[in-house]
Structure 1
Amino acid sequence: MKEEYARIIEAIGEDLDRPGLKDTPARAAKAMQFLTRGYSETVEQVVNDALFPSDSSEMIIVKDIELYSMCEHHMLPFIGRAHVAYIPTGKVLGLSKIARIVDMFARRLQIQEQLTLQIAETVRNVTEAEGVGVIIEAKHMCMMMRGVEKQNSVMKTSAMLGAFRDNAATRTEFLSLIS
């Protein structure tokens, strides 16, 4: 990857011998590996058996989970927050594991629509929840720094599964609790 970054830097017309760029290919490669570390993680590793028996059948919400991802179309960042809710059926997931699931999928080349669905389906599969709701709000650098250059635009996506899709009252409760 380091050599590829060196080629890109030269292709834009820069001099790799310039002091400020001397170690940039190595730093850029290391940064890209960090930004896309979600490819080296699995759901099993992230959850790490942190699923616990519970009599709770009320909605559980983790809101304002910050996320950083990379647009798969332009490889530019999008930055935002996720709100994740589920209704347990006999087991609950360790609190930090929700954020770790968000990070695992966000740290891949993504489109926000797919990211939202991947998080929802994973939480449903892991917890066997009655329903799962996920909303993501994010600002996309590919829209802010290039193209239409709209600085204040925010994209919102949602995935509603099970009770969150089938029951308007459940969906409304979720939406009111995150606003």
Structure 2
Amino acid sequence: MLTETRSQAIIESYVRGILEEIGENPNREGLLDTPKRVSKMYKEVFSGVGIDPRTALTTTFEGEQYDGMIVVKDIDYYTFCEHHLIPFFGKVHIGYMPSERIIGLSKFARLVELTAQRPQVQERMTQQISNAIFDVLNPKGVIVSVEGQHLCMCARGVKKPGSSTVTTVKQGVFKENDSLIREFERSLESGRR
């Protein structure tokens, strides 16, 4: 494994090379510190690489005999498409039916953040979030819906700004219980009118 300083120097060198290859002058005033800034940004936005998403779900509690659905919605995320290394972003909505354990609600935001801190595709991100919750809490069921706007589709290629993608993963009781799915969908609509 490379040292942090060596890794930063390599990334800076590549960024300088990219700037040169697109016809820019990496020594002009506005670009002089760009390789350093990009290297620092990559360290931050890809800090989840190699970290198991389940590690975000610490500190579970007894479920207090809670028998309803728990929904945490509108969790913002920002990540990078692994195909073009440009951003996609949106909101994550999580619903689960606890079995014996519940978890601090802020842990869901941390889970979303951790899965977003790596080159990503929306489908995998949705599955990783769902699997982590299902594996750690062993709930009766979990449903995760992710909305995303992909700059690789909006700003380049087909250039369709305003388009969005929705991915959904259902596990446990959500796989076959349409009334639970409708309840989850209604909870997403509440407060949006």
TM bucket (normalised to shorter chain) is: over 0.9
Q: What CA distance in whole angstroms lies between the structure 2 residues aligned with 1:44 and 1:135?
A: 18
Aligned to 1:98, which of 101, 105, 108?
108
Matched with 1:82 is 92
Contact 2:53–2:128 (Cα < 8 Å) also in 1: no
Whether 2:22 is the aligned partner of 1:12: answer: yes
Q: Please state whether the residue corresponding to 1:70 is helix, strand or coil.
A: strand
Runs of 4 or more consecutive aligned structure 1 residues displaced over 3 Å after TM superposition = 40-45
Whether 2:60 is the aligned partner of 1:51: answer: yes
Post-superposition CA distance 1:72-101 (Å, at most 9, x none): 111110010000011111110111111111
The number of aligned residues is 178
Post-superposition CA distance 1:121-147 (Å, at most 9, x none): 111111101100000111100011101
Matched with 1:114 is 124
What percent identity do the matched residue pairs reach? 37
Aligned to 1:178, which of 169, 173, 188?
188
Aligned to 1:143, which of 153, 172, 177?
153
Matched with 1:124 is 134
Q: Please state whether the residue corresponding to 2:153 is helix, strand or coil.
A: helix
Opposite residue 60 of structure 2, the aligned amino acid is L
Tell me the CA shift for residue 45 of structure 1. Answer: 3.9
TM-score, length basis structure 1: 0.95
Opposite residue 9 of structure 1, the aligned amino acid is L
Opposite residue 161 of structure 2, the aligned amino acid is Q
5+ unaligned residues in a row in structure 2: which ranges? 1-10
5+ unaligned residues in a row in structure 1: which ranges? none
CA-based RMSD of the aligned residues comes to 1.2
Matched with 1:156 is 166
Opposite residue 165 of structure 1, the aligned amino acid is K
TM-score, length basis structure 2: 0.88
Contact 2:54–2:111 (Cα < 8 Å) also in 1: no
Post-superposition CA distance 1:149-170 (Å, at most 9, x none): 1111011110011111121111
Q: Please state whether the residue corresponding to 1:102 is helix, strand or coil.
A: helix
